């Protein structure tokens, strides 16, 4: 413990250069390593800006030299000394031309040997990294990522502030929302038997703020979903949440384009062109088999249902007759990159998307080999290749199914898989796209009814309003997603702003009047008092940061993430609690985890 008056830091380690030679400076940080060459000791001192070499030599007083000799990795020290030119310069290091001839040294804290070395791109396994997250975060790449996240968020706040948005905080202790996922619940002590829910998004609050006349709202909002975690999900995640009044889709999208342009410019130095391309959902599905197409490459889908619906190949004909389709992609110019074995593996790949199999035609050296041609007529075969635009050197991959969704899912994923295997995706290319005109409803096999594709507050397209109750399959919503390189960065919509239309939307979803009042009463009632036309958007901040930093896991862009089973390995939580706490909350545990519980 020390008041540090004497060692007030001149500046961070990484900021010194040859221009500082001759100056007396004070620096603080962690010992990256200490090299004792007998009559010379070098210490690499690390702080959040980089490394700086400290030097001790013949002319160093004995006790100071011994102090330096006692330093170990990760010790925390403060040092004072003279900046001088190095004898052997290190061109790899920004401070590699200089070193500090130390005249005073203070040991601020010792350190045990860490469980892994504090270096860039550690290959330590995740469980260890996360248990010792405070050490993992010392690594330069993690430091850079967290600093970059700060910068992205700062630019976001600056931009929206400059554009008249007010940041308004909405509650975390709130009511169950209908986003479809499971809620995290918080038992109320004051109201036994009642619960708060953590918000899945501030959706209803932000709409109420529009009704209040705030006109432009934004918030970097924490959201919660108690879902089974996939690799790119966290139980709590952060959303850039926006809502605007009196604007239409195009105006809302233009504001967002300005934001993305700025953040890519200022953070990555990448010039993004605006306006972004726009594509109706239908077109995205037809051409790319995906509502978030990666536009950095071709291999577009073509429908050949009309060509094969009466053909002799049952797999094709039955798919079409069963109400589905047969479609293909042409991996043009890459037949030679996919020998039979690789094609077989692609066949396995599409099966994970429920496709029953993969048909293919390979055009190489003037010959066509194919898995299906023997079942078809020459004309049919030729028509398919013509539709594919196939020429020598191309590979045509075909999927048919009685369900269109399966065809799209399989070919959409296959298209990406081929691109990945071919390594043709340029990580420095950023292709933004607005996907628009989403379906208002989607059929849920599980529930046996139509559900809201976006959420029940989304407005239908003007020309489709009549279809809300009568032709749900073809009713389109004023919803839009912003997609970057095949990733959905965010999505939003124009909202319903009259109680009549909102009631109709609930009706279309089969929600009873009673349920409406119970679950959405506050919102429907509020809409009676004059709701402006409004719409908004929410970005997944974690995903945006991932894309901008090139991180491969969402865990790498969050300071203190949770693992797949939603636990925090560093804090050891969730954890058991005292009986008294539960009793105060009027709840009891009905089941305990099977692992040996750490009861107090």
Rounded CA-CA distance 363/369 in Å is 7
What is the distance between the terminal CA atoms of the chain, rounded to a whole angstrom?
A: 34
Look up residue 477 and give its DSSP letter.
B
Q: Give the range of 121-129, 149-157, 296-304, 353-361 binding a second copy by CB under 8 A.
A: 149-157
User: If binding is defined by CB under 8 A, does position 154 make contact with a second copy?
Assistant: yes
Q: Are 4 and 78 in contact (CB under 8 A)?
A: yes
Cα–Cα nearest to 221, from 201, 235, 205, 204: 201
DSSP per-residue letters across 20-56? GTT-EEEEEEEEEEEEE-SS-EEEEEEETTEEEEEEE
* Number of residues counted as binding a second copy (CB under 8 A): 137
Q: Give the range of 107-115, 300-308, 384-392, 412-420 binding a second copy by CB under 8 A.
A: 107-115
Rounded CA-CA distance 199/173 in Å is 7
Query: Structure tokens of 386?
Result: 């013509």
| Contact residue for a second copy among 38, 91, 193, 596 (CB under 8 A) | 193
Least distance in angstroms from the C-beta of 245 to a second copy: 8
| Contact residue for a second copy among 213, 269, 427, 596 (CB under 8 A) | 213
Q: Which residues 372-401 are close enough to bind a second copy by CB under 8 A?
A: none
Edge-to-edge, what's the strand order for the sheet holding 325-331?
301-303, 325-331, 395-401, 359-364, 367-370
Q: Hey, how many other C-beta atoms are within 10 angstroms of the C-beta on 108?
A: 15
What is the b/e burial string over 282-318, where b = at least 16 CB atoms within 10 angstroms of the residue's CB? eebbbbbbbbbbbbebebbbbebbebbeebebebbbe
176 vs 421, beta carbon nearer a second copy: 176
Tell me the three state secondary structure of residue 148.
Answer: helix
46 vs 476, beta carbon nearer a second copy: 46
Do the annotations mark residue 488 as ligand-binding? yes
What track of x and - describes contact with a second copy for positions 291 through 320 (by CB under 8 A)?
------------------------------
| Contact residue for a second copy among 102, 208, 315, 320 (CB under 8 A) | 208
Least distance in angstroms from the C-beta of 595 to a second copy: 9
Do the annotations mark residue 495 as ligand-binding? yes
Cα–Cα nearest to 328, from 410, 416, 388, 402: 388
Do the annotations mark residue 117 as ligand-binding? no
Do the annotations mark residue 454 as ligand-binding? yes
User: If binding is defined by CB under 8 A, does position 122 make contact with a second copy?
Assistant: no
Q: Which residues 7-46 are close enough to bind a second copy by CB under 8 A?
A: 8-9, 12, 28-30, 46
168 vs 272, beta carbon nearer a second copy: 168
Do the annotations mark residue 227 as ligand-binding? yes
Do the annotations mark residue 216 as ligand-binding? no
- Residue 524: what are its φ and ψ, rounded to 5°? -65, -45
| Contact residue for a second copy among 57, 61, 119, 192 (CB under 8 A) | 192
Do the annotations mark residue 253 as ligand-binding? no
User: If binding is defined by CB under 8 A, does position 56 make contact with a second copy?
Assistant: no
55 vs 496, beta carbon nearer a second copy: 496
Q: Which value, in Å, is the radius of gyration of the alpha carbons in the chain?
A: 30
Least distance in angstroms from the C-beta of 76 to a second copy: 5
Rounded CA-CA distance 482/501 in Å is 26
Task: Measure the CA angle with vertex 524, ends 519 and 528; round to 5°.
Answer: 160
Q: Are 574 and 565 in contact (CB under 8 A)?
A: no
Query: Structure tokens of 203?
Result: 């959706």
Cα–Cα nearest to 273, from 429, 136, 496: 429
**In residues, how long is the chain?**
600
Which residues on adjacent β-strands are paired with residue 244?
216, 535
User: If binding is defined by CB under 8 A, does position 119 make contact with a second copy?
Assistant: no
User: If binding is defined by CB under 8 A, does position 524 make contact with a second copy?
Assistant: no
Do the annotations mark residue 540 as ligand-binding? yes
| Contact residue for a second copy among 65, 184, 375, 450 (CB under 8 A) | 184
Q: Which residues 403-462 are close enough to bind a second copy by CB under 8 A?
A: 459-460, 462
| Contact residue for a second copy among 180, 312, 521, 550 (CB under 8 A) | 521
User: If binding is defined by CB under 8 A, does position 465 make contact with a second copy?
Assistant: yes
Q: Give the range of 211-219, 258-266, 279-287, 328-336 binding a second copy by CB under 8 A.
A: 211-219
Do the annotations mark residue 234 as ligand-binding? yes
Rounded CA-CA distance 102/82 in Å is 7
Q: Which residues 219-278 are close enough to bind a second copy by CB under 8 A?
A: 222, 224, 226, 235-236, 238, 245-249, 251
Which residues on adjacent β-strands are paired with residue 52?
45
Long-range contacts of 587-591 (CB under 8 A, 24+ apart): 587/187
Least distance in angstroms from the C-beta of 379 to a second copy: 48
| Contact residue for a second copy among 209, 509, 544, 548 (CB under 8 A) | 209
49 vs 325, beta carbon nearer a second copy: 49
Rounded CA-CA distance 573/543 in Å is 25
User: If binding is defined by CB under 8 A, does position 185 make contact with a second copy?
Assistant: yes
Do the annotations mark residue 591 as ligand-binding? no
Q: Give the range of 212-220, 342-350, 358-366, 375-383 binding a second copy by CB under 8 A.
A: 212-220
| Contact residue for a second copy among 130, 211, 346, 551 (CB under 8 A) | 211
| Contact residue for a second copy among 153, 343, 383, 524 (CB under 8 A) | 153
User: If binding is defined by CB under 8 A, does position 585 make contact with a second copy?
Assistant: yes
Q: Which residues 539-578 are close enough to bind a second copy by CB under 8 A?
A: 558-560, 562, 565-568, 570-577
30 vs 441, beta carbon nearer a second copy: 30
Do the annotations mark residue 600 as ligand-binding? no
What is the b/e burial string over 480-513, where b = at least 16 CB atoms within 10 angstroms of the residue's CB? bbbbbbbebbbbbbbbbbebebbbbbbebbebee
Cα–Cα nearest to 204, from 187, 186, 223: 223
Do the annotations mark residue 179 as ligand-binding? yes
The binding site for ATP comprises 225-227, 234, 488, 540-543
The binding site comprises 179, 225-227, 234, 454, 488, 495, 540-543
């Amino acid at each position: 413990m020390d008041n540090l008056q004497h060692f007030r830091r001149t500046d961070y380690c990484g900021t010194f250069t040859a221009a500082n030679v001759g100056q007396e400076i004070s620096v603080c940080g962690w010992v990256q390593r200490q090299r004792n060459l007998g009559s010379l000791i070098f210490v690499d001192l690390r702080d959040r800006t980089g490394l700086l070499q400290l030097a001790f030599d013949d002319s160093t007083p004995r006790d100071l030299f011994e102090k330096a000799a006692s330093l170990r990795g990760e010790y925390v020290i403060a040092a004072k000394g003279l900046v001088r030119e190095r004898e052997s310069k290190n061109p790899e290091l920004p401070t590699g031309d200089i070193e500090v001839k130390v005249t005073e040294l203070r040991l601020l804290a010792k350190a045990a040997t860490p469980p892994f070395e504090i270096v860039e791109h550690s290959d330590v396994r995740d469980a260890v990294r996360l248990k010792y997250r405070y050490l993992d975060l010392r690594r330069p790449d993690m430091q850079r990522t967290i600093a970059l996240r700060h910068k992205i968020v700062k630019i976001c706040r600056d931009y929206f502030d400059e554009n008249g948005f007010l940041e308004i905080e909405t509650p975390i202790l709130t009511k169950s929302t209908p986003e479809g996922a499971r809620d995290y619940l918080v038992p109320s002590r004051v109201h036994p038997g009642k619960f708060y829910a953590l918000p899945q998004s501030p959706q209803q609050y932000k709409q109420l703020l529009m009704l209040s006349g705030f006109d432009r709202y934004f918030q970097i909002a924490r959201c919660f979903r108690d879902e089974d975690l996939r690799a790119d999900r966290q139980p709590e995640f952060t959303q850039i949440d926006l809502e605007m009044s009196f604007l239409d889709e195009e105006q809302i999208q233009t504001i967002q384009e300005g934001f993305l342009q700025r953040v890519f410019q200022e953070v990555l130095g990448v010039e993004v062109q605006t306006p972004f391309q726009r594509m109706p959902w239908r077109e995205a599905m037809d051409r790319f088999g995906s509502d978030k197409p990666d536009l950095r490459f071709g291999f577009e889908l073509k429908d050949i249902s009309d060509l094969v619906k009466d053909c002799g190949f049952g797999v094709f004909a039955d798919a079409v007759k069963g109400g589905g389709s047969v479609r293909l992609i042409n991996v043009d110019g890459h037949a030679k990159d996919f020998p039979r074995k690789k094609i077989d593996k692609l066949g396995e790949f599409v099966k994970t998307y429920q496709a029953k199999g993969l048909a293919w035609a390979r055009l190489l050296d003037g010959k066509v080999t194919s898995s299906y041609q023997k079942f078809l007529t020459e004309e049919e075969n030729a028509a398919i290749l013509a539709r594919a635009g196939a020429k020598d050197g191309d590979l045509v991959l075909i999927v048919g199914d009685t369900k269109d969704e399966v065809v799209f899912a399989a070919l959409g994923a296959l298209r990406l898989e081929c691109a990945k295997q071919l390594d043709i995706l340029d990580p420095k290319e950023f292709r933004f796209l607005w996907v628009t005109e989403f379906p208002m409803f989607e059929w849920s096999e599980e529930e046996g009814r139509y559900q809201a594709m976006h959420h029940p507050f989304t407005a239908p397209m003007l020309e489709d309003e009549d279809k809300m109750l009568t032709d749900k399959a073809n009713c389109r919503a004023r919803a839009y997603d912003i997609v970057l390189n095949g990733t959905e960065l965010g999505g939003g919509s124009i909202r319903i702003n009259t109680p009549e239309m909102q009631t109709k939307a609930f009706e279309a979803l089969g929600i009873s009047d009673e349920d409406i009042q119970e679950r959405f009463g506050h919102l429907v009632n509020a809409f009676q008092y004059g709701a402006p036309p409004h719409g908004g958007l929410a970005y997944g901040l974690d995903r945006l940061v991932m894309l901008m930093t090139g991180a491969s896991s969402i865990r790498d862009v969050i300071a203190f993430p949770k693992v797949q089973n939603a636990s925090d390995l560093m804090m050891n939580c969730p954890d058991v609690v005292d009986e008294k706490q539960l009793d105060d909350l009027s709840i009891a545990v009905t089941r305990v985890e099977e692992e040996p519980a750490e009861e107090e």
